[in-house]
C-alpha cells in the first residue's frame, strides 16, 4: 500500500501520481487534500500520512511546494523516515541505504518527468540489508526511542 498526501500546491501532482500508480498496478490510499484548498497547512496532511505509513509498515509520498515542510512534519512521527527527492539516483540511495519510507516531492523545483522517475525508483528500490546501513539505522532508531515518545 502506498499512502499519498499533498497540500494545495501539491494537489495536481498527487492526482497525476494516482494515475501512475494505477497504471503500475500499485494499491494506494489518498489521505488528502481531497480538493484544492488555497492556504491549507501541510502538517494537516503530513501527520496522518506518516502515522498510516508507520502503522501499516507501508510507503508514503507527500507533496508540497518545497517538499521540506512535509519532510520536517513526517519526521516528527516515530518510525517515519521521510526524505526529499532530488533525483532518481538520490532517491534510490535514500531508500536502500537510509531506509526512507516516505518520499517528499517539491512541486516548485520538480517537473512531472522528474517526479515520475523518482516515484518509480522509490517503489522499485528495496532496502539493502548491509551491516553498515543497518548499524546506522539502529542508531537512529535508538535515539528515536529516547526522544520521540
Residue 74 belongs to domain with CATH number: 3.40.1400.10
How high does pLDDT run on average in the chain?
A: 97
How many domains is the chain partitioned into structurally?
A: 1
- Name the E strands within the chain: 2-6, 28-30, 59-64, 82-84, 102-106
Kindly tell me if the per-residue pLDDT of 149 is higher than 80. no
**Per-residue pLDDT for 1 more than 90?**
yes
Indicate the SS3 state at residue 34.
coil
| 64: β partners | 106
Please give the grid coordinates belonging to residue 65: 511546494
The residues, ordered by sequence, that sit 6+ positions from 22 with a Cβ below 8 Å of its Cβ are 28
Q: 85: burial class by Cβ within 10 Å (0-12, 13-18, 19+)?
A: buried
Question: Which residues form the domain of 56?
Answer: 2-147
Distance CA 69, CA 72 (A): 5
Alpha-carbon gap, residue 26 to 20, rounded angstroms: 9
Instruction: Give the predicted TM-score (pTM) of the model.
Output: 0.96
- For 30-53, b/e burial (b = at least 16 CB within 10 A) is bbbbeeeeeebebeebbbebbbbb
Q: For residue 104, what pLDDT is reported?
A: 99
**For residue 83, is pLDDT > 90?**
yes
What pLDDT, on a 0 to 100 scale, did the predictor assign at position 91?
99
Q: Rounded distance, CA 32 to CA 15, Å?
A: 10
State the average pLDDT over residues 44-66.
Answer: 99
Give per-residue pLDDT as tens, 97-110.
Answer: 999 999 999 999 99
Amino acid at each position: 500500500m502506498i499512502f499519498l498526501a499533498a497540500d494545495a500546491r501539491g494537489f495536481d501532482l498527487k492526482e497525476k501520481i494516482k494515475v501512475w500508480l494505477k497504471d503500475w498496478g500499485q494499491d494506494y490510499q489518498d489521505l488528502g487534500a481531497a480538493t484544492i484548498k488555497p492556504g491549507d497547512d501541510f502538517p494537516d496532511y503530513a501527520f496522518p500520512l506518516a502515522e498510516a505509513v508507520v502503522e501499516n509498515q507501508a510507503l508514503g509520498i507527500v507533496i508540497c511546494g518545497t517538499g521540506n515542510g512535509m519532510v520536517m512534519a513526517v519526521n516528527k512521527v516515530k518510525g517515519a523516515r521521510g526524505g526529499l527527492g532530488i533525483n532518481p539516483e538520490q532517491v534510490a540511495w535514500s531508500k536502500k541505504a537510509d531506509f526512507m519510507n516516505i518520499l517528499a516531492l517539491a512541486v516548485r523545483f520538480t517537473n512531472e518527468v522528474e517526479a515520475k522517475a523518482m516515484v518509480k525508483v522509490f517503489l522499485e528500490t528495496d532496502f539493502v540489508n548491509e551491516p553498515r546501513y543497518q548499524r546506522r539505522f539502529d542508531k537512529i532508531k535508538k535515539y528515536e526511542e529516547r526522544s520521540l515518545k
